[in-house]
Chain A
Amino acid sequence: LAKTTQPISMDSYEGQEVNITCSHNNIATNDYITWYQQFPSQGPRFIIQGYKTKVTNEVASLFIPADRKSSTLSLPRVSLSDTAVYYCLVSNQAGTALIFGKGTTLSVSS
């Protein structure tokens, strides 16, 4: 599985847009990129998944450039409740287990 690299931490204020970038230089042709959010003492929650270009849902957008060696999770107008750890993972249709990196701890202040 492709190894991912993310910033360890990020700080933001309520109402701002937050962009978290993840690099996955060794991503394979059939790999997808998935982002999860985790609050303390809870299991990770699926946020968004994509293969290329842009994917948007009700909570976030995912931008993937043509070379797919990186991806950016965009959270519009964050609130205090978005304070959490965000994990970027690469997976494929084979369904092998997800290997978690350290994730990005996002702290949102008022």
Chain B
Amino acid sequence: GAVVSQHPSWVICKSGTSVKIECRSLDFQATTMFWYRQFPKQSLMLMATSNEGSKATYEQGVEKDKFLINHASLTLSTLTVTSAHPEDSSFYICSARAPGAMVDTQYFGPGTRLTVL
């Protein structure tokens, strides 16, 4: 299957600082990538849809000025958590659409664990 990577795999930062997470499609081009957040013992929650060359579409309740998304190329999308606070601590996962045998399939990155102190 298609491979999606994320960097860093984990990050610890101080409250008030900004953190950038990268999502890359390694062996395919992705015009659309998605960002999810997952809290302990919960399911994945969609945050935003990232489209190459255009503005991201955010889900209701997700602050676009706090979670900046940039999809600058067909293989890279970045999520920047600005002025991070302890409640932003979570597991952030990206996914990218890849052509599949029957229908486009979403492949997920390994996730990034963010801890805000």
Q: How distant is B36 from chain A, measured CB to nearest CB, in Å? A: 8
Q: Contact flags (1/0) for A62-90 with B, using CB distance below 8 Å?
A: 00000000000000000000000001000
The tally of CB-CB contacts under 8 A between chains A and B is 64
Question: Which residues of the other chain, A, contact B95 by a CB distance below 8 angstroms?
Answer: 43-44, 98
Which partner residue on chain B sits nearest A94 by CB separation?
B104
A49-B105 in contact given A41-B111, A95-B32 (Cβ < 8 Å): yes
Q: Which residues of chain B (34-59) have a CB below 8 Å from chain A?
A: 34, 36, 43-46, 49
**Contact residue among A42, A49, A102 (Cβ-Cβ distance under 8 Å from B102):** A49
**Contact residue among A45, A92, A100 (Cβ-Cβ distance under 8 Å from B103):** A92
What is the interface of chain B, defined by CB distance below 8 A to chain A? 1, 4, 6, 32, 34, 36, 43-46, 49, 91, 93, 95, 97, 100-111, 113
Question: Which residues of the other chain, A, contact B45 by a CB distance below 8 angstroms?
Answer: 100
Q: How far is the CA of A34 from the CA of B108 in the complex (A)?
A: 13
- Contact residues of A: prevailing secondary structure: loop
Question: Which residues of the other chain, B, contact A95 by a CB distance below 8 angstroms?
Answer: 32, 97, 104
How big is the A interface, by class? Answer: 20 to 34
Q: How far is the CA of A41 from the CA of B9 in the complex (A)?
A: 10
Q: How far is the CA of A14 from the CA of B32 in the complex (A)?
A: 39
A93 contacts B by Cβ under 8 Å: yes
Question: Which residues of the other chain, A, contact B110 by a CB distance below 8 angstroms?
Answer: 42-43
Question: Which residues of the other chain, A, contact B100 by a CB distance below 8 angstroms?
Answer: 49
A101 contacts B by Cβ under 8 Å: yes
Question: Which residues of the other chain, B, contact A91 by a CB distance below 8 angstroms?
Answer: 103-104, 106
**Contact residue among B1, B102, B109, B113 (Cβ-Cβ distance under 8 Å from A32):** B102
Question: Which residues of the other chain, B, contact A92 by a CB distance below 8 angstroms?
Answer: 103
A43-B103 in contact given A100-B43, A101-B43, A102-B43 (Cβ < 8 Å): no
Q: How far is the CA of A91 from the CA of B113 in the complex (A)?
A: 27
A13 contacts B by Cβ under 8 Å: no
Q: Is the CB of A32 within 8 A of B103?
A: yes
Given A46-B1, A51-B102, A87-B43, 11 other A-B residues pairs in contact with their CB atoms under 8 A: A41-B91, A43-B4, A43-B93, A43-B108, A43-B109, A91-B103, A93-B104, A95-B32, A100-B45, A102-B43, A103-B43
